[in-house]
């Protein structure tokens, strides 16, 4: 049983009944339904289950032998050809994988040795930082602003060095939400050609665009075979399909495909056959339109709610993708805020997860999983958590 003192302390943090309904578990308030801004995946209501079911039926009727058999390390040959046409490259420059994260992991193991010099954005995708750590890399961070990575900072840290790789998320950045400007893309590609480093264009969100066509890829602008491009159907179809791809120099793709074949024979051929049917039938393009409309509405709801309920919040308004990066005043510890936010029934990912150092007063909000009608309530819960976090901090200092 809790002590009388503990009970009083817990009671002090229970919101008023008029705030929102709660249930009591071990004397801690928990919202009846958590609103999660944490997961980088769309809610089930905008997943194309009917289109995928129909595509699966067609794949098992017309392409069943390939779909149900082993393939090669390059993946489904017809899907590789479709991707090659999309990027105006030769099919031998394409490798289809079990999601773009696996593609990146294989690329890191293939290109890098422990201690190699690698440049990443700050903030950057947390799984990228983890994968680099696992291959013995201590990356060098360069800052982002509303126009993407600071390319002159990249120029500075790569000058006179044997830099092996620069990792960039150019469109609708995870977690920062920004997009690399056209001018910076050209400058970065030029730097890669001049200095000989590999430029990893990690681009899964490119087609999740709310405001017109995205910029040309750096792959298109590369004249020196320095760019390796990765993307994913997990964002344009559904995360459960786990289909991504790499596009790059043919010799490097061949070597990576050989490694893939040795490790797992082939990626999931049935998943790739289904994706191929979605691509060929036009269902993929229709789904992208549907998803973009829904996500734009969610993005707008989040931006409006933040401006109303957390006016101190500083952020870039994302023009696509899933994420918004939020900077709060320096007195806020985002990890402490997360603890209180969970009690209020809302979650997010704290900024330090995406940083080599710092990020203490920052957090990532994913609007993809939250229907527009729930966004304002989620932000109000976050605002209450922010107020309570500051009250706790003031009480602790006074004590």
Rounded CA-CA distance 379/309 in Å is 7
Contact present, 246 and 203 (Cβ < 8 Å): no
Rounded CA-CA distance 165/184 in Å is 17
DSSP secondary structure, 304-362, as one string: HHHHHH-TT-B----SBSSEEEEE--TT--HHHHHHHHHHHTEE-EEGGGG-SS--TTE
Q: In the chain, which segments carry CATH 3.40.640.10?
A: 48-283
Contact present, 208 and 228 (Cβ < 8 Å): no
The pLDDT of residue 336: 97
The pLDDT of residue 79: 98
In tens, the pLDDT along 197-249 reads 999 999 999 999 999 888 999 999 999 999 999 999 999 999 999 999 999 99
Closest listed residue to residue 237, CA positions, set 50, 33, 37: 50
48-283 in CATH: which number? 3.40.640.10
Rounded CA-CA distance 103/133 in Å is 16
In tens, the pLDDT along 97-148 reads 999 999 999 999 999 999 999 999 999 999 999 999 999 999 999 999 999 9
Rounded CA-CA distance 389/238 in Å is 36
Question: Taking the model in full, what pTM does it have?
Answer: 0.89
* Cβ neighbour number for residue 27 with a 10 Å cutoff: 14
- Does the domain at residues 33-45+286-398 carry the CATH identifier 3.90.1150.10? yes
Contact present, 273 and 232 (Cβ < 8 Å): no
Question: From start to end of the chain, where are the E strands?
Answer: 22-25, 28-31, 35-36, 94-97, 117-122, 140-145, 148-149, 163-168, 198-202, 227-232, 244-247, 323-327, 346-347, 349-350, 362-366
Q: In the chain, which segments carry CATH 3.90.1150.10?
A: 33-45+286-398
Rounded CA-CA distance 110/226 in Å is 15
């Amino acid at each position: 049983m809790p002590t009388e003192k503990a009970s009083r302390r817990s009671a002090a943090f229970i919101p008023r009944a008029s705030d929102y309904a709660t249930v009591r578990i071990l004397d801690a308030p928990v919202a009846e339904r958590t609103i999660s801004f944490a997961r980088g995946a769309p809610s089930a209501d905008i997943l194309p289950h009917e289109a995928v079911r129909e595509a699966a039926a067609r794949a098992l009727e017309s392409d069943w032998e390939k779909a149900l058999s082993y393939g090669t390390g390059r993946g489904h040959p017809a899907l590789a050809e479709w991707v090659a046409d999309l990027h105006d490259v030769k099919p031998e420059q394409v490798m289809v994988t079990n999601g773009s994260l696996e593609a990146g992991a294989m690329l890191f193991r293939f290109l890098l040795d422990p201690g190699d010099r690698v440049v990443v954005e700050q903030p950057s995708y947390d799984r990228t930082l983890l994968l680099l750590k696992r291959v013995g890399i201590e990356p060098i961070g360069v800052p982002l602003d509303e126009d993407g990575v600071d390319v002159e900072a990249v120029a500075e840290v790569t000058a006179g060095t044997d830099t092996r790789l620069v990792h960039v998320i150019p469109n609708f950045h995870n977690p920062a939400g920004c997009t690399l400007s056209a001018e910076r893309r050209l400058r970065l590609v030029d730097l890669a050609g001049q200095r000989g480093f590999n430029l990893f264009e990690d681009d899964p969100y490119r087609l999740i665009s709310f405001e017109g066509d995205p910029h040309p890829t750096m792959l298109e602008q590369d004249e020196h075979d320095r760019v390796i491009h990765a993307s994913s159907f997990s964002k344009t179809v559904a995360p459960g399909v786990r289909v991504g791809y790499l596009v790059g120099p043919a010799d490097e793709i061949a070597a990576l495909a050989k490694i893939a074949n040795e490790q797992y024979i082939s990626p999931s051929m049935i998943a790739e056959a289904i994706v191929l049917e979605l691509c060929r039938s036009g269902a993929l393009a229709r789904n992208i339109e549907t998803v973009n409309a829904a996500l734009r509405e969610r993005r707008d709801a989040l931006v409006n709610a933040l401006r109303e309920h957390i006016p101190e919040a500083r952020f870039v308004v994302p023009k696509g993708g899933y994420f918004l990066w939020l900077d709060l005043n320096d007195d806020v510890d985002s990890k402490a805020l997360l603890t209180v936010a969970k009690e209020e029934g809302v979650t997010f990912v704290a900024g330090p997860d995406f940083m080599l150092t710092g990020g203490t007063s920052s957090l990532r909000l994913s609007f993809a999983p939250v229907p527009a009608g729930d966004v304002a309530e989620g932000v109000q819960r976050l605002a209450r958590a922010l107020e309570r976090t500051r009250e706790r901090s003031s009480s602790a200092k006074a004590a």
